[in-house]
């Protein structure tokens, strides 16, 4: 099956800093999503981005499908950004949003 690698595994920032999280995948995909899991365990969908660039406030994401990677940018980080960021992908055209998740990047933003 498809492999998903996220880097870095851990990241510690001071409030106000910027960061870039990376997701590499081993095959072409039809579906790529970024999620944030907060310290209470809630998983929030940040972006559905199989290709191109999207922005939502201080967060933006870019997927370069031909080179099999995606980047999540966090600008002016806040303590509420802390948690685990997951990238998830799907290759199949028939299985209907059956995602394979990476292992995540644990982000800690200190005040």
Partner 1 sequence: DVKVTQSSRYLVKRTGEKVFLECVQDMDHENMFWYRQDPGLGLRLIYFSYDVKMKEKGDIPEGYSVSREKKERFSLILESASTNQTSMYLCASTRVRLFGPQHFGDGTRLSIL
Binding site residues, partner 1, CB under 8 A: 30-31, 33, 35, 40-45, 48, 50, 86, 88, 90, 93-94, 96-99, 101-104
Nearer to partner 1, 19 or 31 (CB): 31
Query: To the nearest whole angstrom, how small is the minimum distance from the Cβ of residue 106 to partner 1?
Result: 12
Nearer to partner 1, 17 or 99 (CB): 99
Query: To the nearest whole angstrom, how small is the minimum distance from the Cβ of residue 110 to partner 1?
Result: 23
Query: To the nearest whole angstrom, how small is the minimum distance from the Cβ of residue 107 to partner 1?
Result: 16
DSSP for the chain, please give it.
---EEEE-SEEEEETT--EEEEEEESS--SEEEEEEE-TT--EEEEEE-SSEEEEETTEEEEEEGGGTEEEEEE-S--GGG-EEEEEEEE--SSS-S--EE---EEEEEE-
């Amino acid at each position: 099956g498809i492999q998903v690698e996220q880097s870095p595994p851990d990241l510690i920032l001071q409030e106000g800093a910027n960061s870039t999280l990376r997701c590499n995948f081993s095959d072409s995909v039809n579906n790529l999503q970024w999620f944030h899991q907060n310290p209470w365990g809630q998983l929030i969908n940040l972006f559905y981005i199989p290709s191109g660039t999207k922005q939502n406030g201080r967060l933006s994401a870019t997927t370069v499908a031909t080179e099999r990677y995606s980047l999540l940018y966090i600008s002016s980080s806040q303590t509420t950004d802390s948690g685990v960021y997951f990238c998830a992908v799907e290759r199949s055209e028939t299985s209907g949003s059956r995602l394979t998740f990476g292992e995540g990047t644990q982000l800690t933003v200190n005040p």
